[in-house]
Amino acid sequence: MHCIRAALIGYGLAGKVFHAPLLQVTDGVELAAVVSSDPAKVHGDWPDMRFEAEFEAVLADPTIELVVLATPDHLHAQQALSALEAGKHVVIDKPFAVTIADARKVTETAERCDRHVFVFHNRRWDADFLTLQSLVGAGELGEIVHFESHFDRMRPEAGQRWKDKRSGGVWQDLGPHLIDQALHLLGKPEAIWADIAVQKPDGHAPDFAHVVLRYAKARAILHISQLVPDHRLRFAVHGTKASYVKHGLDVQEEQSKSGIAPHESVWGIDPELGLLTNADGYARPVPNHRGRYQAFYENVRDCLLNKASPAVPARHAIAVMEILEAAQESARERREIALSGG
């Protein structure tokens, strides 16, 4: 099998916890270089890794086929454009870009250069979301009328990271995850209403987002807050036949932080089962599917080898950006925003 040589750009949380471990366990892909401002941090994890201080060094290397951008949001578009023009395929950590105009420009450039661009919507492969998809596909819930998706935490102090201070706050950070899952499950809504706010006393950027996606019948509620002492609720999904309620976040991020690798036997196994309650009140626990973030990079590999189509095509990532921006407009103007083609 042809081995795809990849370069990882950025070694913060996204690069260290998500991309590097996943690239390292994907057969047919070699993590060949890391670009970072902190060589000690990179070599502390990967002693033999090729280190580069400058992005241009990997762009000039003809053996590098894939560039993975795990950099701050405002760098995504320009770095992606540079990589595409240099003949590289590109993975971009979410969000795709700061603006939808930038995201569309990247997509158009990829088409012109005949290169792939993939956006890292990894939470399609959360254990609980895979489980929910399976239940919906099997007709266990009937027609969904209410989809509630939470990503809450208890972090009462204002954060000091760059992502804690960006203008979009938690909506820009975590909103893409919740949006992508909702669109993947329910399709595009007709309209959106959003309340996005700063609730912490010394908050720099929004730490609260409550967004309602309106469908012909169903309603999807996407909720993010950092002031929730009991932040266990993840999904509450109600259909005409049954409800599915799940507590606890997918374990893969925390496993990676603790040093567990994606190829280990415990990886992706979520011990907290969801509860399926039928219309007659009978409730039973539902075993979780196994979470598999590595499926994202397996698909990237197969696409580059012309063996598959993108699991997250660019149009899906553009659709997420449309919802991301429409919610911000709704919150600013305090009104519902209609979406074309919903």
pLDDT score of 124: 98
pLDDT of residue 164: 74
Q: What is the pLDDT of residue 165?
A: 73
Cβ-based neighbour number of residue 54 at 10 Å:
9
d(CA 252, CA 258): 10
Q: Tell me which fold the domain 123-292+323-338 belongs to.
A: Dihydrodipicolinate Reductase; domain 2 (3.30.360)
Q: In 3D, which of 322, 300, 323, 324 has the Cα closest to residue 312?
A: 300
Q: Could you tell me the mean pLDDT of each successive run of 10 residues in the chain, 342 residues long?
A: 93 97 97 96 95 97 98 96 98 95 98 98 98 98 98 90 78 96 98 97 92 98 97 98 98 97 97 97 97 98 97 95 97 96 64
Q: With helix as H, strand as E and coil as C, how does 274-307 read?
A: EEEEECCCCEEEECCCCCCCHHHHHHHHHHHCCC
Report the CATH architecture of 4-120: 3-Layer(aba) Sandwich (3.40)
Q: For the chain, which residues make up each domain, given as ranges?
A: 4-120, 123-292+323-338
Residue-level pLDDT at 202: 86
Determine the pLDDT at residue 117.
Answer: 98
CB atoms within 10 A of CB 338: 12
